[in-house]
Amino acid sequence: MSRPSAPGRAALAPGDLTRWHLLKAAIVVFAGNAYEGATTRKISQEAGAGIAAIWFHFGGKDGLYLEALRFSGRLAARMAARVPDLPAEGDPAPAAREALRALCALVPGAGLPGPAGPRLGKVVVALLARAMASPREGTEAAAAEAIRPLVLRLEACVAALRPDLDEPARAWMVLEIENLLLLPLRRPGLLARAPAGFDPGLPALIAHVLESGRWRTQSELPRMAPPAPIP
């Protein structure tokens, strides 16, 4: 997985540069291995720094992970800003479809060029997807806040393409599409077993979900069966 590039690297002081290298390496290693599989040794090796520098700059692995999520959130906001806006007047559907395609392009393995570039956007999205799939105590809020700008864009697209849905049904459809987008990242083994050149066809899958949505109102949403009584 490629590394995100450093903005304004030349202006960074030596200590700040070490901190940036550690943060950059952490984003890549956490994205590729999740929290449990990422070690401070691996991160420090990727950064070309000593393990002690992680403790000096971030207070340890947990602090580094939290800062990686916060930094990813700032980058996610920038990526969301690059997704095409929906028009205030006229038919928003064409722009919403283009915006959905731009969101799909941020997902590694989607086979589409990302508007923020694979070096930056796709690494960050992979990290946030892993964080949402396996939340850790103390980082759930940071992960949810980090990915929120992209989710808001998705919600706007669904609202534009399915104005017939009431708010609960729209929220359900957003959740379905979000799960489709993040499935390759939450279950990387699925893509690993796919043949070479496999294209999951995310835009087509999402278009199908949007067009064939079964629930338009809260009363039509599926309900969980009540739990069986304990004998």
Domains of the chain, each with CATH number or no CATH: 14-189+201-219 (1.10.357.10)
Rounded-to-10 torsion of CA 190, 191, 196, 201:
110
pLDDT of residue 200: 58
The set of residues, in sequence order, having a beta carbon less than 8 Å from that of 189 and lying 6+ positions away, is none
Q: pLDDT in tens for each of the 231 residues of the chain?
A: 444 444 444 444 556 889 999 998 999 899 888 889 999 999 999 999 999 999 999 999 999 999 999 998 888 888 888 888 888 888 999 999 988 888 887 765 444 343 333 455 678 888 888 888 777 887 888 888 888 888 889 999 999 999 988 888 888 888 888 877 776 666 656 555 666 665 556 677 777 777 776 555 555 555 544 444 443
pLDDT of residue 8: 42
Burial 106-138 (b: 16+ CB within 10 A, else e): bbbbbebebbbeeebbbbbbbbbbbbbeeebee
The DSSP-derived string for 184-227 is HHH-HHHHHTSPTT----HHHHHHHHHHT----SGGGS--PPPP
- Between CA 171 and CA 109 the distance in angstroms is 26
pLDDT of residue 216: 55
Please give the Cα distance from 176 to 208 (Å, whole number).
11
Question: Residue 88: its pLDDT value, please?
Answer: 84
Give the position of tokens 């009431």. 166
Answer yes or no: are the C-beta atoms of 135 and 150 closer than 8 Å.
Answer: no
pLDDT at 92: 92
Helix orientation angle between 51-58 and 61-82, rounded to the nearest 10 degrees: 70
pLDDT score of 199: 58
Q: H or E stretch including 171?
A: helix 167-186
Beta carbons within 8 Å of 19's beta carbon, 6+ residues apart: 53, 57
**Confidence at residue 115, expressed as pLDDT on a 0 to 100 scale:** 37
End-to-end CA distance of the chain: give it in Å, rounded.
Answer: 51
Say what the pLDDT of residue 13 is: 54
Q: What is the pTM of this model?
A: 0.70
